[in-house]
Amino acid sequence: MTNESTEFRDLNTSPRILLGPGPSMVHPRVLRVMATPMVGYLDPQFLEVMDDVQALLRSLFQTSNPLTLPISGTGSAGMEAALFNFLEEGDPVLVCVNGFFGARMVEIAGRCRASVARLDVPWGEAVLARQVDEALRARPAKVVALVHGETSTGVQQPLDEIGAVVRRHGALFLVDTVASLGGVPVAVDEIGIDVCYAGSQKCLSVPPGLAPLTVSPRAMDILSSRKTPVQSWYLDLSLIRKYWSSERVYHHTAPIGLNYGLREALRMVQEEGLANCFERHSRTAALLWDGLEALGLQLIVPRESRLPSLTTVRVPEGVDEMAVRRQLLNEYNIEIAGGLGAFKGKAWRVGLMGYSCRPENVLALLGAIERILRRKGSS
């Protein structure tokens, strides 16, 4: 029990340079708009915000899908919504696993009581279209799921050829773009993605709490023909869409302030232009890659497969990776992350996402790493 005499001071967090796998730094414009006065979830002014958010998300996803909206929850809620709504007990699903978040998809699909098949490739490598084709020839699937930008490895998964294979086999194509949407092109309609979700806190630079999602009409037909209710009431798209459509049927109280912030962040992407936004992420990532290699550090993923928004760096022999991260945080206010799963203790993960993706942040990180490693006698 708290002592009544305890003094709780004003919150005063350090102004970190966030260069980990998320969250990214939030632009002042987004923070400012999130202080806009609160309105109700059915207030006409908020309904206009909802319409704007949907239109801006369709532009970013490069889709005309009517069902395009932000799920109220983090990227993991987007993952659950994507899998829960389109998998029923016994449904065959193929999950491509080349990192931590592909494995999480397997876990969630299993909780749907689907019949799950894994297509595993080594961490740090991309899944090949011929591997997906072979797996589907051996065992057809209702859904094929994979991660576009795997934040545990820094691999950007090519989608075009796999999308064509999935369509040829008549399956739904489900793609995780949590770490890629806003940083690299995600051409949903052109590729033929049926279910695609992301997260607000990465390349969109909004605080965590929203998961943009878009669903093709073909997938919606499958949702409407389900034999059983969706496993989660909160994430049931057949209910949520009635709130986000012209029906405006109450489902849950949307996070009003976060949607203000998402609208502003998407407006900023529109102002910059998609091509310019993607080029900025690519150019800034190249600056990081060249600088790290100039320091004698090795990057784990081959350049042609690297995700611009997340880079994995091999920890030099004899270096305590956690100690380096602690020094970066304590002495330079810079956050990067350690490795997950197979890369735990062996890699640093450096994120360049949204508002964090700026040359000055890269130069600050490179200078800090150089000083820390020189002090440790490793460079």
What pLDDT, in 10s, does the model give residues 185-218?
A: 999 999 999 999 999 999 999 999 999 999 999 9
Mean pLDDT of 121-133: 97
Domains 17-22+274-375 and 28-270 share a fold: no
Helix or strand holding residue 327 (H, E): helix 321-332
Per-residue pLDDT, averaged over 13-34, amounts to 96
Joined together, the tokens standing for residue 66 give: 């009517």
Check residue 314 and give its pLDDT. Answer: 98
pLDDT confidence of residue 2 = 62
The pLDDT tens digits of the residues spanning 163-176 come to 999 999 999 999 99
Average pLDDT over residues 72-87: 98
CB-CB contact of 99 with 150 (8 Å) = yes
pLDDT of 281 above 90: yes
What average pLDDT is seen over the chain? 96
Q: Which fold has domain 28-270?
A: Aspartate Aminotransferase; domain 2 (3.40.640)
Give pLDDT, residue 377: 66
Give tens-digit pLDDT for 328-339: 999 999 999 999
Q: Are 233 and 81 in contact (CB under 8 A)?
A: no
pLDDT of residue 319: 95
Round to whole Å and give the CA distance between 356 and 237: 32
pLDDT value for 379: 45
Write out the DSSP string of 209-240.
Answer: -EEEEEE-HHHHHHHHT-SS--S-STT-HHHH
Q: Report the pLDDT value the prediction gives residue 6, as an integer from 0 to 100.
A: 82
Q: Is the pLDDT of residue 53 over 50?
A: yes
pLDDT for 228 beyond 60? yes
Sign of CA dihedral 339, 343, 345, 349: negative
* Beta bridge mates, 198: none
How far is the C-alpha of 282 from the C-alpha of 309, rounded, in Å? 8
Domain ranges of the chain: 17-22+274-375, 28-270
Assigned architecture for domain 17-22+274-375: Alpha-Beta Complex (3.90)
The structure tokens 């012209």 sit at: 246
| DSSP 3-state of 50 | helix
Q: Report the pLDDT value the prediction gives residue 376, as an integer from 0 to 100.
A: 74
**Looking at the predicted structure, is the pLDDT value of residue 305 above 90?**
yes
